[in-house]
Copies of this chain bind each other. A is one copy, B any other.
Amino acid sequence: MTKILIVGGVAGGASAAARARRLSEDAEIIMFERGPFVSFANCGLPYHIGGDIQERDKLLLQTPESFLARFNVNVRVMNEVTAINRDAKSVTVTNLLDGSQYSESYDFLLLSPGASPIVPPIEGIDDPLVSPLVHSLRNIPDMDRILSVLQTKQVKHATVVGGGFIGLEMMEAFHQRGINTTLLELSDQVMGPVDREMAGFVHAEIKQKGIDLRLGVGLVGISVSESNTLNLMLSDDSQFETDLLIMAIGVKPENTLAKEAGLTLGATGGIWTSPTLQTSDPAIYAVGDAIEEADFVTGQPTLVPLAGPANRQGRMAANNMLANSDGELETYQGTQGTAICKVFDLAIASTGKNEKQLKRDNIDFEKVYVHTASHASYYPGAETVSLKLLFSPSDGKILGAQAAGKDGVDKRIDVLAVAQRAGMTVDQLQHLELTYAPPYGSAKDVVNQAAFVASNLIKGDLKAIHFDEITNLSDDQILLDVRNPNELTNNGFIKGAINIPVDQLRQRMSELPKDKEIIIYCQVGLRGNVAYRQLVNNGYSAKNLIGGYRTYLFANA
């Protein structure tokens, strides 16, 4: 009879427990959770605070009782595993309700302790008058504490530090409750997984909703005023008062238990695991936010604190713990880091590597931007999907993708996540046959369109210029706007551009000098490509602004 102990009762741990029982009726399975809840919907917490999810009970997916009834799993909440005795194959457990300690033996141990919020050493943050007003959000008690403040105190202004998933979701939650909200982000963009110019779509949305967005500033000090509000001091020497502060600058793997047990940690601080999800001690598995994973593109170690991988890893660890002794163990196939975040009406999503990472890792890449309707533009409800596709210029392999928009963003990133995982090239993306009817897509989908542009670049049918190069033109270059004059008036234009609408270009081509390079742009890049081909086929030297004026405009938002 196999005895399995599981540390942590949420995504990875709960998945592993349920799967282990399905595989073996006679295994003994004990799941320890130091908090009061197991298997809660941690991704739903901000939405309960904001009011989208009205019933708190909906967040409690399973209880110790339901786990016992369905899966015969012994769930011990408020029980913290404080030490692993690897030689004895046992753990030391503290019952947090009465302080008692006991020991429990194992055949296999699964570590799924998750990650904890990073709280930087900000001046005043440990002040006993300050700390009750400083919150993070990782679990139900965290959520209850925030709700309690909102219910008992008049919160007119809230501040969120950190523009990642939880920071953005909490910002929206406060806004939905009618609270004036400031979002502080130390870097020059929110949503680190996407590149700066794609984050511009989020910045525009956030500002449009009336959020006080402050980029490039850090929180350096906190004090309490007489009226019991917090006074925040920022790195730019400004300060302001706020009633409630959320620290959401990121998480770090919970590695204490593993470290003290002498298990190998990775350079990232995550618990090292083999592809079979075993730690350096083969009787101990580890999954989820606490572990270091292999990046799908580079194979390099990385941290991916996301629910999807945690759930699937838990399932796989159970398979491996209960595999026949002569059976082959399953291996984890690396993590693309596919992620999405709702920011008011906008979705922002990504998969694979972003440009910042590719540059840092010295990986050769090319990129395209397209802005295409989420479905046939003549059918009601179409919204623009703004897509960035990163690919290898040598073999056309997909390196990463990012998208922003109000409809169909999840679908396009999912399509590209599958294509990337399958090792597809941009040439193959051209042939993708995706569902098309006017309410759902277009005969040439956003993804096909991006692949056409990428393929044109690889074949040399198109020469690209990008949004960050277009304002530093040399004397040998001329900037040509091929949109209609009313578009320049209504949408703005890039300084110094001359305007010849694409439909007049054949007639007016002689207005352009043949001894200069023509830098073309239109609204999204499509008409620019038509103009580019006309000019090049007529002997001009030219480049087209990929993604057009729209990419340029939002890159600066």
Contacts and interface: CB of A to CB of B under 8 A. Distances in A.
Interface of A: 11, 15, 21-26, 41, 43-44, 47, 52-53, 58-59, 61, 66, 69-72, 165, 296, 306-312, 315, 332-333, 335-342, 347, 349, 351, 376, 378-380, 410-411, 413-415, 417-419, 421-424, 428, 430-441, 443-445, 448, 452, 461, 502-504, 506, 527, 529-530, 533-534, 537-538
Nearest to A427: B330
A311 B11 contact: no
B436 A417 contact: no
A310 B436 CA distance: 12
Ranked nearest first, the 7 interchain pairs of A and B with the lowest CB-CB distance are: A422-B422, A25-B537, A340-B435, A69-B503, A58-B378, A22-B533, A307-B443
Contacts of A434: 308, 338, 414, 417-418
18 contacts: A22-B529, A43-B437, A43-B443, A47-B379, A310-B443, A311-B444, A312-B431, A312-B444, A338-B435, A341-B437, A342-B437, A342-B439, A351-B435, A410-B435, A411-B411, A417-B435, A418-B432, A421-B428
Contacts of A58: 378
B422 A418 contact: yes
A498 B313 CA distance: 36
A510 B15 CA distance: 28
Contacts of A71: 530
A503 to B, nearest CB: 4
Contacts of A533: 21-23, 25
Given A423-B422, A433-B335, A529-B22, A506 B342 contact: no
A438 B44 contact: yes
Nearest to A535: B25
A411 B443 CA distance: 15
B436 A376 contact: no
Given A307-B443, A308-B436, A434-B308, A41 B422 contact: no
A10 to B, nearest CB: 11
